[in-house]
Chains A and B, each alone.
Chain A
Amino acid sequence: MAIRARRSFSIKTQPGFTTIAMACFFLLYLPIATLVVYAFNSGESVAVWQGFSLRWFQSAWQNSLVQEAAWRSFLVAGFAAALATICATMAAIATTRTVNYPGLTFKYAFINQPLMVPEIVTAVALLIFFSRIKVWTGYTGIGYLVLAHTAFCIPFAYLPIRARLENMDLTLERAAADLYAPPWQAFRRVTLPLLTPGIIAGFMLAFVISLDDVVITEFVKSPGQETLPTYMLGQLRRVVTPEINAISAAFLALSLLLVTAFFFLNRKKS
């Protein structure tokens, strides 16, 4: 590393770099570290350390409201990520296995729209849109949350799938066609198996994004349809106990696990 730094320009050698880097590091991780540490506090406070205990994890685990919200979160995230991944896979194939045409850039923008439109705008729009439908149909179930989450998860599922399709050797599909595979068979026997890591990665990313959402969920949910994040937000308005820390810590662990798995899947070359 030292040799490399001497040979070419390196940001690391710039004055003040270490200070700024350390500051960023602390700003990012110190609050999270504190949060995790106090999840293990044996007292009632989130600010005064009174000894180590797992009581808040236990209490959160046994809290029926937490259980219900967690279950709903997983349900919504599971369905939304699955739907988003299917849409994203089809969109990725349609936008990569084609000759370039004038409208294509517009389509990329369209697919990635949820990344660019402010979340609060989407949330308000969906609130108004769905409230009409709720009145007309009388249906107030979890379906609205699933649909809303699907919509904003699509770009996250789309990106890794598209990346994998773009890196795939096109002659493989040609070879399949050459060996008498009609388009559907060529897709099923060659493209899809090679695309699978991308699809799993896309699913996991969409799942994490959905699991984490507050703004859109808060606007779209019917009364009583708390997900884990909205439940936590509600709790913060009342008495704060380390139970919230425990839930957050568990949440963090799960997200880290999924994101790490995503990373490894994405790195694995075909």
Chain B
Amino acid sequence: MGSDSAAIDVRGVSRIFKGAGQDEVRALDNVSVAIRQNEFFTLLGPSGCGKTTLLRLIAGFDFPTEGEIRLYGEDIAALPPYKRPVNTVFQNYALFPHMTVAQNIGFGLEMLGKLKEEIAARVAEMLALVRMSELKDRRTSQISGGQQQRVALARALAPRPKVLLLDEPLSALDFKLRKDMQIELKRLQHETGITFIFVTHDQEEALTMSDRIAVMNKGRILQVGSPQDIYVRPSERFVANFIGDTNFLKARAVGAKGGKVKLDLSSGGSLSADLPPEGLSVGEVTVVVRPENASISEIKGSDFAGNVENIVYFGTDTHVHLKLADGLPFIVRQQNSAGSTAAVKIGDKVGVSVVPGTAKVIRD
């Protein structure tokens, strides 16, 4: 962390908005994160958690109350946006309505004082990259939303920024177009080799597109890691809950051995789980189990037991909703491949077995 090789190095940044009278909003609260060169980095979090604020600080539209932001080792926190080699794809695209598609794409290069021929060549290259060549002379009001999106991308990529910022660029598109653009964005990032910082509140989008994800909540970064890291080893309840479906269990540790801890569940059973990196807190702990890592079994020999409350069929899999003895809900996801599904009915008391090594103790 914090090395000069990071494309963007955010160090202890806070942004406090003064409200009316005494109240203030900590849109960002002591945020530190290092974003590596060439990576597809995603800021993921619910609406209002400070994603846009962080992006605006990196772009230079706003300035941190505390902390510094480094771009390849150089402190840029005080530079105005037009002096930062960072470009933005705006959520509403912000294409210039009085210019054509090609003029929009060439604008940044023009402002950088590039030669006419160079601009023309680069614009043509960008038009080809986003497959918009035949629409280059259209007004931006004469093209569809998806096409506007691609022009916004081309315009931001044309000046070869060191970092590209994308603020929920896909949220205005319908489902099908969104899936296409997700693939398109990955391709563009791969082909241009530019560092992308992508903002979304959609956890599925974050998981499928990112090299690394920072999960944010209430102005803080809770966890940074690869999609697998974050899904398999969430650091705390908020992360586990925000990403994918999760079951939470209450337990008490009764003995640790080699990174594993033996737990007595408050619902009666017992379980072996991985310790969090920072060690174990005393007293009651929280354990997470993903629904696909649990299966219905005979009560005898299972980890714990519960009552079947509901059964929901999803085609490829079936969700069995259980209620445990301590009143907590627990969902088991069963694959519907032939022969693997135990026949259960609502009201049955059944056992649950957890795949060894998949239960994690987390910070609450």
Contacts and interface: CB of A to CB of B under 8 A. Distances in A.
B107 A176 contact: yes
Interface in B223-239: none
Interface residues of B, number: 24
A190 B82 CA distance: 14
Interface stretch (A8-16, A177-185, A259-267): A177-185
A23 interface: no
Given A178-B81, A180-B82, A172 B111 contact: no
Interface string A189-231: 1100110000000000000000000000000000000000000
A175 B94 contact: yes
B306 interface: no
A87 to B, nearest CB: 25
B126 interface: no
Interface in B45-64: 59-61
A39 B107 CA distance: 56
Interface in A153-188: 169, 171-172, 174-183, 185-186
B111 A194 contact: no
B80 A169 contact: no
A190 B140 CA distance: 14
A270 interface: yes
The winner among A172, A180, A183, A185 for most chain B CB atoms within 10 A is A180
A175 B86 CA distance: 11
Given A180-B159, A185-B111, A175 B80 contact: no
A168 to B, nearest CB: 10
B112 interface: yes
B87 interface: yes
Contacts of A183: 82
Contacts of B92: 169, 171
B302 to A, nearest CB: 56
A181 B94 contact: no
A180 B96 contact: no
A177 B81 CA distance: 6
Interface in B103-157: 107-108, 111-112, 155-156
Contact of B90 (A171, A182, A270): A171
A178 B108 CA distance: 8
Contacts of B95: 175
Nearest to A174: B61
Contacts of A189: 107
A172 B96 contact: yes
Interface string B76-100: 0000111100111010101111100
A175 B105 CA distance: 12
B98 A194 contact: yes
Contacts of B98: 193-194
Contacts of A190: 96
B155 A172 contact: no
A182 B79 CA distance: 12
A179 B94 contact: no
B79 to A, nearest CB: 11
A183 to B, nearest CB: 8
Contacts of A181: 82, 107, 111
A245 B61 CA distance: 60
Contacts of A171: 90, 92, 94
Contact of A194 (B83, B97, B107, B156): B97
Which of B80, B82, B83 has the most A CB atoms < 10 Å from its CB? Answer: B82
Nearest to A190: B96
A174 B81 contact: yes
Interface of B: 59-61, 80-83, 86-88, 90, 92, 94-98, 107-108, 111-112, 155-156, 159
Interface of A: 169, 171-172, 174-183, 185-186, 189-190, 193-194, 270
The 3 closest A-B pairs by CB, nearest first: A179-B108, A180-B111, A175-B94
29 contacts: A169-B92, A172-B96, A174-B81, A175-B88, A175-B90, A175-B94, A175-B95, A176-B96, A177-B61, A177-B80, A177-B81, A178-B60, A178-B61, A178-B81, A178-B87, A179-B82, A179-B107, A179-B156, A180-B82, A180-B108, A180-B111, A180-B159, A181-B107, A181-B111, A182-B111, A186-B82, A190-B96, A194-B98, A270-B97
Given A176-B111, A178-B81, A179-B107, 8 more contacts: A177-B82, A179-B108, A179-B155, A180-B108, A180-B159, A181-B82, A182-B111, A194-B97
